[in-house]
Structure 1
Amino acid sequence: ALGNGLTFPAAPDPKKNGLGQAYAGDDNHTLTAGLRLRHDFDGNWQGEVGVLRQIADRESTGVTNTFTDRAGRYTTTTSSSTASRFTINSYMANLNGEVDTGSIHHQIATGIRGFVWKNMNPLHGATSTLGSASLERPSRFERPDYPDFSNRYHSATATQHAFLLSDNLQFSPQWSLLLAGSESLLSSASYAKTGVRSSESSNSGFSGSASLVYKPVDPLTLYLTWADSLQQGDAAPSGASNAGAILAPYRSKQTEVGAKLAVNRLLLTAALFEIKRPFAYTNGSGDYAVDGEQRNCGVELMADGDVMQGVHLYGGMTWLDPRLFDTGSRATQGKQVVGLARYTASLFAAWDLPGLSGADLHGGARYVGRRATDNANSGWVSGYTTFDAGAAYQTRLMNTATTFRLDVTNLTNRHYWTNIVPGGLNGYSGAGYASASLGAPRQVQLSMQLDF
């Protein structure tokens, strides 16, 4: 993480001893139980209902190295205050079928769904300083006295219930219109360690979308989509003064125009889009709060399929212009959003080896452009490119479908910064400015998969 006014130095080797602490990290246990029932009423109308219960217990003891100067010196802290249990109860019910009204064919879907999400935090969770070191001379520190993570308090609850209806109207083989809407009821509440409710919010609203689709010729599809959505707000991360609190619901708006072209066994897609949504981050006062609007304008190109016999291609590129507006500050007005690159691209290819049935060679490359590390764009992290390669062989062992794989990721062992965010994610214990993670080094993995 960064101290105030600092920028990230060149990324060190993530395998260097002392950059992390052996006892730190996450010890997670998740129990998920669900039941879903489907019924076909008459071959045309189908229904389904489902319920799910999830309990996620987490012992988060991550450490954060916060730079204190431009020479790579840092202070190491650890946090045990992030949520140690999530419980989620959710449900859903759907009914869908098809009807005709005159010359218009309708594909109708309706349903309800919702959840109750509760957060529990360690009662005695805290942030503590382990010591100081530098990138040149990392240090190992003694394990602190972490709290009992099962001794926790109820810190927040969020609920959402939605009623949905959609209709795909097919006017002709060339024209169709998809209309979808939902009415959502949202609420959130935060609680202090004493059990007293410290904040609450509730909202209800309509979310809608419409997609107009036109097929001038069979392999080409053109579409125009608009959406206005209400969604639950983010939870304040560890390190914020209101950690664990759930913000009021967000409303986001999106417009997209695009095309899809099928050429033999290759699908090509292109999309131009704009998305607007509230922007939340940990501000200078230490509070995680909404302060401004994020607008993402971009172009996305994708390709997926066989470019020739035995050669499969998957990849694409995105040009993105993510900007902040209505921040109330000249320093941040119109600036690029922290951690988001303007250019990203990836390409993956697989070649079926001739003469050796079931065997293939595959490889790929991924590029991410430079990213801002503060809302005023005074600091940047350089872009990076990584390469992967591997091989796979499908056969049968004891009459069981078996696949052997050998994969090498980050082939050139590139050192780079990734996951850059304003403030920090769960387990963060820095000073409230931008944080980042070290990209994974070169890794080799050999696996065998059996399909019974």
Structure 2
Amino acid sequence: QRINGNRNTVYIPATLTGIPHAPDADTNYSQKWTFTELEDTYGMARGEYDLNDQWTLYAAAGAKHTREVGNYSTPTLRSTAGATTASSMFVAHDEDNRSAMAGLRGTLQTGPVSHQINLGVTGIWTEQRSAYELSGSFANDLYHPIDVAKPTVYPYVGGDINYPGIVGKTINRSMAISDTLGFMDDRILVTYGLRRQNLKVDGWSYAGARTATYDESITTPVYGIVLKPWEHVSLYANSIEGLAKGPTAPATAGGAEVTNRGQAFAPARSKQVEAGIKYDKGTYGASFGVYRIEQPSDGYVDAQNTYVRQGTQRNRGVELNIYGEPLDGLRLLAGATVMDTELSGTKNGANNGNRAIGVPNFQYNLGADWDVPGLEGVALNGRMLRTGGQYVDAANTQSIPAWNRFDLGARYSFEVEQRAVTLRANLENVANTRYWASANGGYLSQGEPRALKVSATVDF
């Protein structure tokens, strides 16, 4: 896959006092000489063997090699009026991933109680190789971008661009066992289990010096329960924990080298608790759930151009989804999520109690799909998306506002020589609205402009 002149994210330095409004939806502040080229080569295999009617052995393995080459130029805002600076950064990146899993699953009966048992082991091995070349910066404007000649001098270099060196290795291994007990003809299901997880992470600088080494293990429980008091109603609750790899500091931010570029951060524990109710009547239904997630806070680049990761992020939310066909041929889908986030354990308590970066306080969506009467196989659809405001920095001094987007679409299904054919056309962002879609990671991502997408599928 190759993309030329793709519109970039926009970097917001910690020193900026406010966030300017988004440019026109079809403004491209990328340079024409920028590109990204990705190539993936991958394969996998899976097999199962039935020992008998109740027990099955299974195993799977896969591998993937990724090659990335690109010339990037991410603008950095220098004023609330839209003045920017940018650089040319050429990147070469290789990544190899291997994974394997094996296990035994089966069922058994102990008196009136049924059991669904699973015993499994997994392993994931990852290796990254990277190098970059960075030019000096040049001035530009977010609202009135101009074409700049591609720089020819790259004074800042990380690694050998022709032979990228190893910057990270990760080994993630785990062993888990679980049992789902069924009571009262499986109207009550109780799941419990344990997982032993080992995460080994090594990091190197672009010069080849080891910068980090972590080898951590934890044993975490999993619990879950499903109650079916009525035929179409289910109540559920679950809790799960895990160990996740920490982030790696980027090479550059805002057109300048990050002081601790390439630093790998320690693995960290996360925990999720969820509960809710589901109603499924076939042609209509609804679900309502609440959740709480505790995880390390996302990293960001501070005013000293150092990538930091401090404290814990707690997310709490309520989700509601409704779907149904109130009239023959008219299908509706609606969803709403309200989220609350809070930071704790930040450096010197400076950001304790603040909201996390890039997490909207709500998300709403509404969709409709309508079969046009008298036109067999023709259907029209529409969708409305609304996402709440988001903070750009951990201090909660910079934010982007809520945004709306409307999409329209149509499809036509018919048969050609007994083969099903479907033609689709979708017009996204009908009003060509300009908006900042996300502040995740402390970078601004602008919503896509009005775009017409067409496709065709044929069943063989």
Preserved CA contact (<8 Å) 1:157 1:189: yes
Equivalent residues in 2 for 1:105-254 (5 A)?
A: 105-122=114-131, 125-145=132-152, 149-173=161-185, 174-239=187-252, 240-254=258-272
Deviation at 1:58, TM superposition (A): 0.5
Aligned counterparts of 1:126 and 1:292: Cα–Cα separation in 2: 33
1:97 matched residue in structure 2? 106
Deviation at 1:409, TM superposition (A): 0.3
Deviation at 1:7, TM superposition (A): 2.1
Preserved CA contact (<8 Å) 2:169 2:201: yes
- 1:298 partnered with 2:309: no
RMSD: 2.0
Deviation at 1:305, TM superposition (A): 4.3
Deviation at 1:420, TM superposition (A): 1.0
TM-score, normalised via structure 1 length: 0.91
Preserved CA contact (<8 Å) 2:88 2:150: no
Deviation at 1:443, TM superposition (A): 0.3
2:289 paired residue among 237, 247, 271: 271
The residue identity in structure 1 corresponding to 2:316 is C
Aligned counterparts of 1:246 and 1:337: Cα–Cα separation in 2: 21
2:382 matched residue in structure 1? 363
1:258 matched residue in structure 2? 276
Aligned counterparts of 2:266 and 2:216: Cα–Cα separation in 1: 8
2:358 paired residue among 339, 342, 347: 339
Aligned counterparts of 2:281 and 2:80: Cα–Cα separation in 1: 53
Aligned counterparts of 2:297 and 2:448: Cα–Cα separation in 1: 29
Identity rate of aligned residues, in percent? 27
Aligned counterparts of 1:14 and 1:108: Cα–Cα separation in 2: 53
State the 4+ residue runs in structure 1 displaced beyond 6 angstroms. Answer: none
383-392 or 265-274: bigger deviation: 265-274
Change (3 A) 1:355 1:252: same
1:39 matched residue in structure 2? 49
The residue identity in structure 2 corresponding to 1:397 is V
Deviation at 1:345, TM superposition (A): 0.9
TM-score, normalised via structure 2 length: 0.90
Deviation at 1:175, TM superposition (A): 1.8
- 1:421 partnered with 2:440: yes
Deviation at 1:358, TM superposition (A): 2.4
Preserved CA contact (<8 Å) 1:280 1:288: no
Deviation at 1:194, TM superposition (A): 4.3
112-121 or 248-257: bigger deviation: 248-257
Aligned counterparts of 1:94 and 1:22: Cα–Cα separation in 2: 51
Change (3 A) 1:288 1:114: farther
Aligned counterparts of 2:325 and 2:49: Cα–Cα separation in 1: 37
The residue identity in structure 2 corresponding to 1:248 is A
Aligned counterparts of 1:329 and 1:360: Cα–Cα separation in 2: 58
The residue identity in structure 2 corresponding to 1:371 is Q
Preserved CA contact (<8 Å) 1:97 1:107: yes
Aligned counterparts of 1:355 and 1:14: Cα–Cα separation in 2: 37
243-252 or 406-415: bigger deviation: 243-252
Deviation at 1:397, TM superposition (A): 2.4
Provide structure 2 residue ranges, at least 5 long, that are not aligned to the other structure.
1-10, 253-257
Preserved CA contact (<8 Å) 2:24 2:143: no
Change (3 A) 1:87 1:164: same
1:426 matched residue in structure 2? none
2:36 paired residue among 26, 47, 63: 26
Preserved CA contact (<8 Å) 2:133 2:161: no
Q: Give the aligned length.
A: 437
2:86 matched residue in structure 1? 76
1:444 matched residue in structure 2? 452
User: Per the alignment, in what secondary structure is the counterpart of residue 33 of structure 1?
Assistant: strand
Preserved CA contact (<8 Å) 2:211 2:263: no
The residue identity in structure 2 corresponding to 1:104 is V
Residues 265-288 of structure 1, C-alpha deviation per residue, up to 9 Å, x if partnerless? Answer: 223111111111111313434443
The residue identity in structure 2 corresponding to 1:63 is S
User: Per the alignment, in what secondary structure is the counterpart of residue 11 of structure 1?
Assistant: coil
Residues 143-166 of structure 1, C-alpha deviation per residue, up to 9 Å, x if partnerless? Answer: 234898542101110110111211
Deviation at 1:349, TM superposition (A): 1.7
